[in-house]
Amino acid sequence: MARNRSLGKKKSYRKKSWLLHFVIMFFIALTILAITTFHYVNTHFREGTFIQGVDCSQLTIEQARKKIEEEMQNQKITFKFLKAEYTATYGQFDVTLNGTGALEEIMQNQYSNPQVEYFLTDKNVDEEKVISYLSAIPELQEENMTKPQNAFLELRGEKMVIVPEVEGHWIEFDEACDFVINFLKESGNPNHTLDMERLMYCLPDVRSNNTELVRQQQEINRILNTTINFQLADGSIYTLDSNTMKDWVVEKDGVYSVDIEGNLPTFIENLKNAINNANEYIRFYATGVGYVQVPSMEAKTPILDEEKQEEWIISQLGNNKVIDTKPIYSRSPVNEQLSSWVEVDITRQKVFLYVNGECILETDCVTGTDGVHSTPTGVFFLNNKVTDTVLTDNKTYASWVMYWMPFYRGYGFHDANWRDEFGGSIYKTSGSHGCINLPHDAAEIMFQNINYDMPIFIYES
């Protein structure tokens, strides 16, 4: 009986020892499995993981990288234009992954992130191949595109006009290249169509109804449409108008204007020259005749008041009208602002004396013998007044006169008591030696009223 118990105990011990051994071995195996599974899970992408459109289920990072790059070579990208499409593959541009950093990040977070589809935004691209490919597309070649053109101002003839804008069809090539390169590098969307028309420039920035453009046009044309006619001493006209001012139009940074201050001094100088040239002959309104023109001779040269003239012109430009005026003088021509003067008409053999606008003397006279001792025409000023004197050339004559009023060389007014008649045609055959002979009473009136500031106009009507 005792033996049987001992044998039973041994069997029971053996059974327990085997069971313990089994349990230990099971846990060892389970641990190895767990470790192996953990390692596998952390070195392989989980089932259903798509990266860059490629199924990477159960692949390692290196396996996934290789598979993605292989399949990506055949992925297509289409360039869509208005009337054409062009398709290329990623392989044509040598698109590759930029290392494995992005894949490692996906794997590290794959169980904490429910996402199973990923797109990589960090890739390498052969930019030169992109540029070469795009440069061959007709729609991106300059000769096949039209640049939009802003409306702009242009001087046509003597008017400023607005040239209308042009709506274009233009894609900047460099911008297109950057757009495609950045898409290939950053977009994970495979087999994509790029709408290249989104890069197109159609509309100009400045249209013909642009407020600033219209303002500039109107302001310039108001100036160009202003005409100032300066009447000069000889009756000629010196004009400031669009024919001159069109050359004053300037453009700076797209803004058009008329450079008045920069060009007006030159115009003023030219006006001065015109005044001096016009002073060679003086236009004068003769009594009972109308306008006549005579040489200036000893007339005082008019002087332009440059500062006042310039200020006045600036104030008038932009009036958009025709202005008839005379220059602003600091010393006026002798035929302007007349109040007192003397006229001698050789043709009518008449002398007129005006004082303060009133004719106080109208008398017949005898001038120099026609064609022999002709009296000079022109504008003169008295240079002396003498009474009770003898006029002589020290050779052929010596004549006593009561009133002697010389005005040019040996020419002058004087009484001629030796004459019984004056006027008519006496001067043609029996005139003076060039002086203007007056009746005694007329000479006295002349002597009493003439002064050194009175212009003497001698003309032939």
pLDDT confidence tier of residue 299, bands split at 50, 70 and 90: confident
* Whole-number pLDDT of residue 53: 85
Encode pLDDT of 166-205 as tens digits.
988 899 999 999 999 999 998 766 668 999 988 988 888 8
Cβ atoms of 41 and 30 within 8 Å: the answer is no
**For residue 234, what are the domain limits?**
211-331
Encode pLDDT of 208-235 as tens digits.
999 999 999 999 999 999 999 999 988 8
Does any domain span residue 2?
no
Do 147 and 215 have their domain in common?
Answer: no
What's the rounded Cα separation, in Å, for the pair 355 and 211? 60
Backbone φ and ψ for 404, nearest 5 degrees, come out as -125, 125
Q: What is the DSSP string of 149-191?
A: B--EEEEETTEEEEEPPB--BB--HHHHHHHHHHHHHH---SS
Cβ atoms of 360 and 351 within 8 Å: the answer is no
**Given a cut of 70, is residue 427 above it in pLDDT?**
yes
Do 101 and 184 have their domain in common?
Answer: yes
Residue 425 carries which DSSP code?
A: T
* Whole-number pLDDT of residue 130: 97
Average pLDDT over residues 6-19: 62
Do 370 and 441 have their domain in common?
Answer: yes
Do 89 and 110 have their domain in common?
Answer: yes
* Whole-number pLDDT of residue 461: 95
Of 62-71, 97-106, 182-191, the range with the lowest mean pLDDT is 182-191
Average pLDDT over residues 74-79: 92
Question: Sign of the C-alpha dihedral, residues 374, 379, 380, 381?
Answer: positive
* Whole-number pLDDT of residue 234: 87
Encode pLDDT of 322-380 as tens digits.
999 999 999 999 988 899 999 999 999 999 999 999 999 999 999 999 999 999 999 99
Residue 302, classed as helix, strand or coil, is coil
Do 316 and 369 have their domain in common?
Answer: no
Average pLDDT over residues 139-160: 92
Do 58 and 186 have their domain in common?
Answer: yes
* Whole-number pLDDT of residue 188: 64
* Whole-number pLDDT of residue 187: 76
Do 63 and 174 have their domain in common?
Answer: yes
Give the global pTM: 0.61
Does any domain span residue 336?
no
